[in-house]
Structure 1
Amino acid sequence: MRCVVFDLDGTLADTSGDLIAAANFCFRDLGHGDLLDPTLDAATALRGARAMLRLGFERLGLDDAEEQIDAQYPTLIDAYGDNIDTHTVLYPGVREAVDRLKALDMKVAICTNKPEGLAETLMARLEFRDVFDALIGADTLPVRKPDPAPLFEAIDRSGGARTSAVLIGDTATDRNTARAAGIPSVLVTFGPGEEDVSDLEPEALLHHYDELDSVIEAVI
């Protein structure tokens, strides 16, 4: 059975605002004020908690940045979990697009580098979890993307076939994961990432979720 696997942050939803807010909570708690900008630093937010902390501490010119990152990481995760859906929004048309895939008897799953518990909480808060057949997070397995194992696990748990699967993502991590797994990738062009995803040479680009059906038909 055909299977469509989605990344979460920057692919299904723009989560950058809540991620930036959690990082800035840490910086304010340390007396530094807000070091990250919700708009200008959105791409860094989608690279994860440590990337945001690293950027902020680099702006302060700290010599012990890595130690500070390790110390503040749990605080950031807690702050994010407490306010995980304040600013987060699903991308236009995504609910309807996933419903259409299900109506075509395709399996749908999520494979994200967000911790599984946070991903489950966010999708439940967005009232968008139940439609997905499986969800694999950064800590579900001992490895995370771009290792192909989490992608394979998402496909297997959903009941889909590895030979008829595609990964929808927004970054080089997603493209490299799909390449390592030997399956096609589709990269969205509407996320806040800094890179031109067309340079990553995915099998297809997705400009709006209204186009998802035809894009999927072209690659699997």
Structure 2
Amino acid sequence: MTSPAPTVVFDLDGTLVESAPDLVGALTAALAAENLPPIPESEVRAMLGAGARALVERGLKAAGVTLPEPRVLELYRVFLDHYDAHMADRSHLFPGAEGALDRLAGRGARLAVCTNKLERFAVKLLGELGAAERFGAIVGGDTFGVAKPDAAPVLGAIRAVGGDPARAVMIGDSMTDVAAARAAGIPCVVMSFGYTPVPARELGGDVTIDRFDELDAALAGLGLL
């Protein structure tokens, strides 16, 4: 008897999309509104993964600045406005991502995105990159009122595409993704090229891979293909 096709849930930033340059640009705009200098991209990349509000807060901390909450919210809005207008200026799908998605779709896999980016921005970014229609669900950090590492958005994404957690996997690049997968009771494949201050192979994922053309074999090793 053939096993049901798996549900594959992808993180977005640092997993499917190289989005750091445009996120850095938005953070630079927010810091400039407070007359603060930009932070090098190499440093910002390790701050990504927890959502825009957290990125602004981490940027201020890195700049050695403590601001009252109302001002932090103002800078957060500056970030959002800038990012909304420039999210796809330099962002692009990682090499091999489209081919991997095509292969999974050809095998009948249910595909979803679960990111801590605001849902409307996740949908817009994937749309501008021509990839939104590949996914049966695009879940953001605000979709269910909680964000990863909580299990709720991951499980919600699986349900939204009619999947079964017993036949699901998370594909991510950070400790947040691994922890969310653990909370949801599903395995996690870690992409080594993403955004994390901790080396990818030390995150505790079930499998770590370096390229999208290794994904099929990784899923097969987990018994999902």
Shorter-chain TM-score bucket reads: over 0.9
Do residues 49 (structure 1) and 52 (structure 2) align?
Answer: yes
Question: Normalising to structure 1: TM-score of the pair?
Answer: 0.93
Give the counterpart letter for 2:202 in structure 1: D
SS at match of 1:167: strand
Deviations 1:162-193 (A, max 9, x none): 11000000111111111111111111101132
Could you tell me which runs of 5 or more consecutive residues in structure 2 were left unpaired when the two chains were aligned.
none
- CA gap of 1:211–1:113, structure 2 versus 1, over 3 A, is same
Do residues 136 (structure 1) and 172 (structure 2) align?
Answer: no
Deviation, structure 1 residue 41: 2.1
Q: Is the 8 A contact 1:151 1:177 kept in 2?
A: yes
SS at match of 1:130: helix
Q: Is the 8 A contact 1:20 1:52 kept in 2?
A: no
Cross-structure match for 2:151:
148
Cross-structure match for 1:214:
217
Could you tell me which runs of 5 or more consecutive residues in structure 1 were left unpaired when the two chains were aligned.
none
Pick one of 5, 16, 21 that aligns with 2:9: 5
Q: Is the 8 A contact 2:115 2:141 kept in 1?
A: yes
Deviation, structure 1 residue 59: 4.5
Q: Is the 8 A contact 2:174 2:195 kept in 1?
A: no
SS at match of 1:122: helix
Cross-structure match for 2:23:
19
The 5-angstrom pairing of residues 192-207 of structure 1 reads: 192-207=195-210
Give the counterpart letter for 2:19 in structure 1: T
The 5-angstrom pairing of residues 1-220 of structure 1 reads: 1-32=5-36, 34-64=37-67, 66-219=69-222, 220=224
Identity %: 35
Give the counterpart letter for 2:56 in structure 1: L
Give the counterpart letter for 1:99 in structure 2: D
Deviation, structure 1 residue 194: 1.8
Q: Is the 8 A contact 2:6 2:167 kept in 1?
A: yes
Give the counterpart letter for 2:209 in structure 1: L
Deviations 1:129-182 (A, max 9, x none): 111111111111121111111111111111222110000001111111111111
- Number of equivalences: 219
Q: Distance in 2 between matches of 1:172 and 1:78?
A: 28
Larger deviation, residues 36-45 vs 111-120: 36-45
What do you get for the CA RMSD once the two structures are aligned? 1.6
Question: Normalising to structure 2: TM-score of the pair?
Answer: 0.91
Deviations 1:9-50 (A, max 9, x none): 110011111111011112223333x42112332221444323
Deviation, structure 1 residue 66: 4.8
